[in-house]
Chains A and B, each alone.
Chain A
Amino acid sequence: MSQIAFEGTEEQAARLAACISEHRGEKGALMPVLHEAQDIYGYLPPEVQTVIAEGLNVPLAEVYGVATFYSRFTLMPKGKHQISVCLGTACYVKGSDKILEEVEKTLKISCGECTSDREFSIDSCRCVGACGLAPVMIVDGEVYGKLTEKDVKTILNKYAEN
């Protein structure tokens, strides 16, 4: 797994602290606090989970357990450029798994992760409604269709230069 340095600001910390004190003592406080923490930071790094555990007086193991149970929560930040490869049925039979593999290989991270310079993150999705263009990949909202493995590098280079 790639290692991403934590870059939280004081303003973010203050917002999290306010959210924790609002929910402290409530039954089931962990879920709303995790939601808000993810809104504040974009993801749930260890540093944030520890603050939540300490603030709500909940074991860190429980915080981590909940954060890894629900797919809405992510432990990885999103990159400056967000890549999403469609693994829906049409794209999949057209070989989008190979496209995803190529993206992972090129960026040296796995699906769901972010590069350590925070430039790129990779996710997969299920059908973007462009099956006629399968296999499809989306970068920063722009759709690339009818892909072959060798297209991947060219497309990523476009974003790396910016």
Chain B
Amino acid sequence: MSMVNLKINGIPVQAEAGSTILQAAEKANIRIPTLCYLKDVQCVGSCRMCLVEATGARGLVAACVYPVSEGMEVFTNTPKVRKSRKTTVELILSTHKKKCLSCVRSMNCELQKLALEYNADEDRFGTDYAAKPIDDLSESVVRDNSKCVMCTRCVAACEHQTVGVIGPKNRGYAKEIGSPYDMPLAHTSCVNCGQCIVACPVGALYEKSSVADVWGAIVDPAKQVVFFTAPSIKATLGEAFGFPVGSNVEGKMVAAIKQLGNVKCFNMDITADLTIMEEAHELIQRLMTGGTIPMFTSCCPGWVKFAEHYYPELLPNLSTCKSPQEMFSAVLKTYYCQKNGIAPENLYVVSVIPCTAKKFEIRREELGGYTDAAITTRELARMIKEAGVDFANIPEAEYDMPFGEASGAGVIFGATGGVMEAALRTASRLLGGEGHPIEFKEIRGTQGIKEAEYNVGGGKINVAVANGLGNARKVIEQIKSGEKNYAFVEIMACPGGCVNGGGQPYVRDEVRNSVDLKALRASALYKQDENSKYRCSHETPAVNVLYKEFLVKPLGQKAHALLHTTYHQRDKY
């Protein structure tokens, strides 16, 4: 790679030829503000926040797209630059609904941060925003366009997912971001992944909150409230309380949930293990009996809805297993209620999930309505703050029994490749004894598509793992064209899997643009797996008790009725 020499604010910097001023500045530890730029998502140079002076250029140039050249001198901190950035912020603020105090993004908003840094006057150009209707018909995503800054990061995120149900429309003052023909998002083929929410720099997009419902249930004397937390929550919740990215806060999380009121807190990693029991048996059955392969995982509700809209012909290939969330709720409303003499209608089940699509999932009729509320990591953090819990100093606590201890296989469900690895651990042992490896490192990591060939029970099988729906589409097209053959394919809608889900804590742009968020968060899960007493799902005691006392056997009649589901084709337009 050839290098060029340039100076930024007088500091000599070497940068790769073809890289941008923004990238070169990062190497020299000089911060240039950005708004529409987001690493891995969008780089278009439209917001004009990153303007700098550069020799040889006619006016100010956008650092995020302007390439470096030999001998170039860049100035990021001149009166002209500062004035321009300040005016840009003030112009954006003139069409922004400045209801900041109660905004979901207050104190965590990129526009607020820029306004503060550039001492912007929010009233310099008055306030001229049209009060636009809030679209809250979706179960998952709420859009408030009166706060939109038109950065189009959400549009880029949706395009990466190859869903593309939102875009800029109209022109000039009438321009806004949304679905065609003023359709509410709920009427489009949106898969509810929520990647638009985590891409949004302001409060224009957020999840449909169930916090008020959950507080209501907690104080209702007729209700018994149980929480269960998805595998990835422990690896991300800390970020909302100032812990570094990649901190595992399981003990504090459980303790904090128990301080929300008279509630129990269970571990969803256990039904991740249960999912593997069913799914591994299903895979073996499909392979042995000439069933439909490749089999696709079905635990990601974003992927399931994507398949229903875009690849209905593949629905027979989807594992019939419900997701861990739905398996848990079904077990709680039947087995747990019976065992503890609770009327199912008095048990209020709250799942804490990294995901906005799970909010849609709990409303699917075919799943039986066992989950009462699904709240994201962000909503849980909000509740913990509202309850006045001192998260940093709270002593750690353990999950409630009987759903406390899970295997490391359940833990890694939260990262891309985790479900596949967990399934392979169990399937290989079910077929061929204990001589198989525990770790399947070829399918770990954050690259979009991973492939491997494994020896399972004496036969070789090819597997693929895709994260991000754009990558999923590539894998599917290769399978359909006959170019590739797999026995088993794992798909997670969100890039990096659940650790990077649409319900995970907001991360400041400056952090997100400089670290590998997906890998750091996933590392917390793999570390816990490594130190787990049990590494395979079929070893988890709670799972074995469940089969012994209630479910009888994997793929049995009872298991089939409670733990499996069906899919149906949905319109694309």
Contact = CB atoms under 8 A, between A and B. Distances in A.
Contacts of A63: 180
B569 to A, nearest CB: 16
Contacts of A69: 168-171
A25 interface: no
A64 B164 contact: no
B51 to A, nearest CB: 25
Interface residues of A, number: 15
B165 A64 contact: no
Interface string B133-176: 00000000000000000000001000100011111111100000
B180 A49 contact: yes
A11 B50 CA distance: 52
Interface in B274-308: none
A62 B178 CA distance: 11
Contacts of A64: 167, 169, 180-181
A80 to B, nearest CB: 25
A42 to B, nearest CB: 19
A140 B180 CA distance: 32
A137 to B, nearest CB: 25
A59 interface: yes
B259 interface: no
Residue in A49, A54, A64 with the greatest tally of chain B CB atoms within 10 Å: A64
B71 to A, nearest CB: 34
B181 A46 contact: yes
In this complex, which of A59, A61, A71 has the most chain B Cβ atoms within 10 angstroms of its Cβ? A61
B19 interface: no
Interface string A32-53: 0000000000000010011001
A71 B159 CA distance: 25
A68 interface: yes
B184 to A, nearest CB: 13
A62 B573 contact: no
B573 A61 contact: no
Contact of A62 (B167, B181, B572): B167
Contacts of A46: 180-181
B179 A61 contact: yes
A65 B165 CA distance: 11
A60 interface: yes
A63 B180 CA distance: 9
A61 B164 contact: yes
A62 B170 contact: no
Interface string A55-89: 00001111111001101000000000000000000
A59 B155 CA distance: 11
B169 A65 contact: yes
B171 A61 contact: no
Contact of A59 (B165, B170, B171): B165
A81 B315 CA distance: 51
Nearest to B189: A60
A44 to B, nearest CB: 11
Given A62-B167, A65-B169, 8 more contacts: A54-B572, A61-B164, A61-B165, A64-B167, A64-B181, A68-B171, A69-B171, A71-B171
Interface of B: 155, 159, 163-171, 179-181, 572-573
20 contacts: A46-B181, A53-B573, A54-B572, A59-B159, A59-B164, A59-B167, A60-B164, A60-B165, A61-B155, A61-B164, A61-B166, A61-B167, A61-B169, A62-B164, A64-B167, A64-B169, A68-B171, A69-B169, A69-B171, A71-B171
